[in-house]
Every structure is written in structure tokens, then in C-alpha cells.
Structure 1
Amino acid sequence: MRFEDFQDFRRRQLTESPSLLDAAETNVYRALAALRPEPPTDLRTVYRCDLARTWLRRYELPEEWSRRAMVCRGVRHGLEVVFRRLHAERARLWLPSDVYPVYFELARAAGLAPASYPTLPAPTLPAPALPGEAATDRPEYLLLANPSKPLGRHLSEPECSALISWLDDAPHRYLLIDTVYDLAAPFAAGTRRLLATGRAVLLHSVTKGWLWPRTFGVVLLGPDQSDLAEAFRAQPPTQDQLRLADRLLTDHADLPHRVAEELTTRADRLFDRLPAEVLGAIPTASRTSPGNYFFPVDIPSETLRHEHGVLALPATVFGDTTWPGSVLTSLA
């Protein structure tokens, strides 16, 4: 079931069966609207280079990386720019098949024909199940999210080791790391470990931590990807967006922590209302991940609805997957 179709289905179910436990809300901006800061009213000029350094300091990254920290309008915009360059390079692109369908829309709009790999928990596969195809002489990029939606957890050490082995198998392999769901500073240990390879591009934005989508982001390029810099410099955010980003990063620096606390509170409320069988089906790593609001369960959504009175998202909402389980959210 596609995301748009599920939204219609959810509305009907909640209208027809108001006693259902709604564990299928996905709009974090609507759920946490009371926490979202107002935009600034001043008209002072804000410079991208200053914002890049502010962002690097916040995430405890070397300030000398500022020439590699490309200011953009968010992760989607960052991917649009990167994907166009990958198309020009005739690069091969691997996308997670079951995380975010928009990844595929952006890649195809850039002229790419992306391949895919699964990340959702399947009985016979690790997560993620990295592609096993042999490397070619073409550049090869693999996009992943850390933490991952809808797994609801960060990459484990063995998973990071597998990704580094994948990189080591060929000199023209790179990672694209979407960190938009990481609400902590500095970034998770796994993300920092992958950055240390020198072959990772990190994408981040104020979308989740500050509840302002499509406004401001940073794409941290690898040491040998300076050719992408001009493409970003040619498409800057507006001054309104830069002023807002400056206010978020300075006057509201603690907001991602408050968002994480609120999400943890909502997760606890959800767990208190779930039947024991359903709660026990949530992996410990997802259940204990701070600020997480996605919880995969190895139970079909139809079973959850009919036998337990819980409205959950079928895994297919997140993309192409053969895993028959569901994903609960705590936002409602």
C-alpha cells in the first residue's frame, strides 16, 4: 500500500472504529507543532560561511572542514544537487528500498536508474543487506540513513564494519549518509566512524530537530569531492532561510534535545497502551533508541488491527519490501 493510499485508509479506519489505538501518525510537524520556533523578524544579512562554522562547532567537527560544509535548503535539495552530479559521472547509485520512496523520485528526476537494497528486518537477512554485486570502474554510491526510518535505531558496530568493507572492496565507492533523524550532538558514533573513512558524504538539516522542513541543511562533502562545491554555491538558500537557520542554531540550540525528550515521553505512552505481545515484538534497539518514534514489529498490520485493536503502518508504506511486518509510531 502506498503512503498516500494508507493515509486515506487511516482516516476511514479512525472514523469507523474510534476505539482503535492510532499508532500510524507520521507527521512530526503536526504532532509537535507547539515546539516549533517562530521565524525571526529582523533583516540582518547572514553569511553561509558563518552558518557552516556554527554547524560544525555544534556537531564537534573540525572547523577547517568549513570549505567542505555546503549550505543548502535541506536534505532533499542536497540530494537533488548530488544526484545530478552522479548522473553526469555515470555513477551507480544504491538506495534503500524500504526507507523513503522520495529517494527514488529524486534520483529518477535527476536521470538516474537507481538499484536498491533492503533494510527492514527479514528473517534471513541482516539489516541492511548490502549489495553483493562486484564493483566496476564506474563511481558507486550507496545511500543509507542513520538512524534509519523505519528501523528506528542507529547502525550497529558490525553493520558499520560491513559498510567499511564494502567501501574497501573498490576505490570508487562512496556512502551518502542521511542523518536527518539524528537529534543528538555530536552525531552517532557509527556516523563519525564512517566519516573517518574519507569516503562519505553526510547530509543533515533542521527538518526534524527544529521542526522546519525544506529550510536549511548542510551537505558535508568528502575530501575528494570538491567538484560538487560549485553546484551548491550556485544554489544558495534565501536570506530569509539563512536568517531562520541562524536563529535556530543559536537561539534555539537546545530544541533537538527537547524534541527528543518529548518523543521519548510519547513512546513511553504508546508502550503503556500496547498489548504485551505487541510490545514484546518491538526490537530492543528500536524501543530504547532516544527520540525514536518508529517501531517495527514482525506482525502484519491486519493482525494488529483485527486482533489487538492497533492501527499500524504496513511496511510497504515505506517502499518496496517483502517483509510482512508493520511499523508503529508514537506521534499520536
Structure 2
Amino acid sequence: MKFDEFQEFRQRQLSAHSSLLDAAETNVYRALAPIRPQPPSDMSTVHRCDLARAWLRRFELPEAWSGHAMVCRGVRHGLSTIFRRLHGVQARLWLPSDVYPVYFELARAAGLEPASYPTLPAPALPRSPVDHRPEYLLLANPSKPLGRYLSDVECAAVISWLGESPLRRVLIDSVYDLGVPFAAGTRRLLDTGRGVLLHSVTKGWLWPRTFGVVLLSPAQAELAEAFRSEPPTSAQLRLADRLLTEHRDVPRQVVAELAVRAERLFERLPDEVLKAIPMVSRTCPGNYFFPVEVPAETLQREYGVLATPVSVFGESNWSGSILTSLADAFGPTPTTAR
């Protein structure tokens, strides 16, 4: 069941069964709308170089890296730009099959035919033989709907994969990382000199497709020129400046609100269902996706819980499902029905 199909199914089920616990809402912007900062009203000029330095300071990264911190319009825009370059050099691209269908849409729009690897119930990295082509692995850290950061063992496996060929690189989608500094695993991957970090204000400040940064390695000057030729609008730059300066605390507020919502979800779940959620997902800061080793059909039929099928996130052979903590029932004024 794809995303749009499931949304129609979800509304039908909630309308027909008033006692059904809605643990399948995925729209974080609607759920946390009161926290989202308002855009600025002034028309001041903001320069990309200043924003790059502000972003580096915000995430405790060296300001000397500003020449490699490419300002863009968000992770989607960043990936589109990178994917076009990968097509030009006939690179091989690996995408997670069960994280975000848009990854595949962007890759195919750039002319790529990506290969895939699963992340549920745990990431299983590709074991492809080394060849003469550049090879890129895209991963999310933290990953959704896995609902956690990469483990030390998983990071070590990625580093080992990189070490098998000087033509291998890793693309790190860190949009769900709401902490400062970035996760230790992300920093370990950057320290290899083979990582490209993608981040934006989408989740931390609840402003999608507005502003992001792609942190390149020094050896990727050809990508830098592609980003410089496609800047955000002046309004997007002004908004980003306001978010990074006047609203620095918003990501912390988002994490705090999501923690409260997660606890309300856990309180409403039957013990058997709660125990089927990995503890590492339950305790990951800022998480609202909780994988559970129970099929969605079973959760609804036996426990009265509406969950999201894994197929909404992409192709998967895993039999479990995903719970979320974004529905009205877990908000500031909890309700028992919709």
C-alpha cells in the first residue's frame, strides 16, 4: 500500500471505528504547527557565505569548512544536484529501499537506475564487488522509519565498505538529527574524508524545502560549482537567517514535544505491543517513528491500534509495521477519538 492509498484507508478506518487508536499520523508539520517560527517581514539582504558560517557554528563544526558548506534549498534539492552529477560520471548509487520513496524518484529523474538495500529490521549494507565506477551509498542517520541512529557496529561496516575502494563515497541524510553536535556516527563517517553531509531546517524548525546545507569534502569542487549556480531565493535566505539566529532553540522544543507525545503513545499501547518496539527506538531523541515486530493487520484486528504498513516507506520484506506519535490523541490536549 503506497502513501496516498494508505491515507485514504486510514481516514476510512478512523471514521468507521471511533475506538481505534490512531498511531499512523506522519505529518509532523501539522502536529507541531504551534512551534513553527513565523517568517521575517523585513527585506534585508542575507549572504550565503554568512549563512554557511552560521550553520557551521550552530552545529559546532569548524568555520574553516565554510568553503565546502554549500547552501541549498533543502535535502531534496541537494540530492537532486548530486544525483545529476552522479549520472554524468556514470556512478553506481545505492539507496535504502524502505526509508523514503522520494529518494528513488529524485534518482530516476536524474537519469540514474539506483540499486537498493534494506534497513528494516536493521540496515543490511550492500556487498557488491568493487568495479571501476564511482560508487555512492545513501543512508539516513538517524534513519526513519527505523527510528534510531546507526550503531557503532553499523558505522564500522560503512567505513569498511568505503575502505574497499577509493571511488566509494557515502551520502549522509541527517535531516532527522535534531541534536548538537551531529551524532557521533555521522562525525565518524565525515572523518573518513569520504562523506557528504546533507541537512536542512525541515524537521528541526519545521520549514520544509526552504534551506539546507550540503557539506562536501575538499575533493568535490565540481559539485560546489553546481550548488553555487542554484541558490535559494532571497526570501528563503532571510528565513534561514532568522531561524539560525532568533530561533536557535526551536529544535530543542521540537525534541521535547516529541518526547511527551511518545510517552503518551507508549501509555496507550498494550504491554505486548510496547515490548515489541526496540528500546533504542523508544529512547532516540526527537523520534516519532517506532518499528514494531507485529503486522499492521494484526495490530488493528487484535489490539485496536492503527499502524502504518512498511510499504508506505518503500519496498520491504519485513513483516512488521510502524507506529507514530503524531496523532491528536498524543498532543497537548489528548483526545480518545477523532
Q: Which bracket does the TM-score occupy, shorter chain normalised? A: over 0.9
Once residues 25 and 178 of structure 1 are traced to their aligned partners in structure 2, the CA distance between those partners, rounded to angstroms, is 22
Q: Aligned pair 1:176/2:166, yes or no?
A: no
Once residues 133 and 57 of structure 1 are traced to their aligned partners in structure 2, the CA distance between those partners, rounded to angstroms, is 38
* Cα deviation code 1:27-62 (max 9, x no counterpart): 000000000111000101000000000000111111
Of residues 279, 292, 295, the one that matches 1:297 is 292
What does residue 258 of structure 1 align with?
A: 253
Structure 2: which amino acid aligns with 1:69?
A
Of residues 307, 311, 321, the one that matches 2:302 is 307
What does residue 238 of structure 2 align with?
A: 243
Once residues 59 and 196 of structure 1 are traced to their aligned partners in structure 2, the CA distance between those partners, rounded to angstroms, is 15
Once residues 72 and 231 of structure 2 are traced to their aligned partners in structure 1, the CA distance between those partners, rounded to angstroms, is 6
Once residues 252 and 158 of structure 1 are traced to their aligned partners in structure 2, the CA distance between those partners, rounded to angstroms, is 35
Question: Once the 2 structures are TM-superposed, how far is the Cα of residue 254 of structure 1 from its aligned partner?
Answer: 0.6
What does residue 219 of structure 2 align with?
A: 224
Structure 1: which amino acid aligns with 2:263?
D
* Cα deviation code 1:126-185 (max 9, x no counterpart): x21011110111000000000000000000000000000000011100000000000001
Q: Aligned pair 1:234/2:210, yes or no?
A: no
Identical-pair percentage: 73
Q: Aligned pair 1:18/2:24, yes or no?
A: no
What does residue 30 of structure 1 align with?
A: 30
Once residues 31 and 177 of structure 2 are traced to their aligned partners in structure 1, the CA distance between those partners, rounded to angstroms, is 18
Of residues 185, 192, 201, the one that matches 2:187 is 192
- Local SS of the residue matching 1:56: helix
What does residue 84 of structure 1 align with?
A: 84
What does residue 268 of structure 1 align with?
A: 263
Question: Once the 2 structures are TM-superposed, how far is the Cα of residue 223 of structure 1 from its aligned partner?
Answer: 2.0
Structure 2: which amino acid aligns with 1:230?
E
- Local SS of the residue matching 1:46: coil
Once residues 144 and 18 of structure 1 are traced to their aligned partners in structure 2, the CA distance between those partners, rounded to angstroms, is 38
Structure 1: which amino acid aligns with 2:202?
T
- Local SS of the residue matching 1:165: helix
Question: Once the 2 structures are TM-superposed, how far is the Cα of residue 291 of structure 1 from its aligned partner?
Answer: 1.2
Once residues 38 and 63 of structure 2 are traced to their aligned partners in structure 1, the CA distance between those partners, rounded to angstroms, is 29
Once residues 130 and 282 of structure 1 are traced to their aligned partners in structure 2, the CA distance between those partners, rounded to angstroms, is 22
Structure 2 gap ranges (5+) = 328-338
Question: Once the 2 structures are TM-superposed, how far is the Cα of residue 18 of structure 1 from its aligned partner?
Answer: 1.4
Question: Once the 2 structures are TM-superposed, how far is the Cα of residue 222 of structure 1 from its aligned partner?
Answer: 1.3
Once residues 59 and 32 of structure 2 are traced to their aligned partners in structure 1, the CA distance between those partners, rounded to angstroms, is 24
Residue-pair matches, total: 327
Q: Aligned pair 1:113/2:108, yes or no?
A: no
Once residues 42 and 283 of structure 2 are traced to their aligned partners in structure 1, the CA distance between those partners, rounded to angstroms, is 41
Structure 1 gap ranges (5+) = 122-126
Say what the alpha-carbon RMSD is for the aligned residues: 0.5
Structure 1: which amino acid aligns with 2:72?
C
What does residue 280 of structure 2 align with?
A: 285
Once residues 185 and 9 of structure 1 are traced to their aligned partners in structure 2, the CA distance between those partners, rounded to angstroms, is 38
What does residue 145 of structure 1 align with?
A: 140
Runs of 4+ in 1 over 4 A off after TM superposition: none
After superposition, residues 35-74 of structure 1 pair within 5 angstroms as: 35-74=35-74
- Local SS of the residue matching 1:202: strand
What does residue 95 of structure 1 align with?
A: 95
Question: Once the 2 structures are TM-superposed, how far is the Cα of residue 194 of structure 1 from its aligned partner?
Answer: 0.4
Once residues 53 and 78 of structure 1 are traced to their aligned partners in structure 2, the CA distance between those partners, rounded to angstroms, is 18
Once residues 285 and 226 of structure 1 are traced to their aligned partners in structure 2, the CA distance between those partners, rounded to angstroms, is 38
What does residue 124 of structure 1 align with?
A: none
- Local SS of the residue matching 1:86: helix
- Local SS of the residue matching 2:157: helix
Question: Once the 2 structures are TM-superposed, how far is the Cα of residue 226 of structure 1 from its aligned partner?
Answer: 1.3
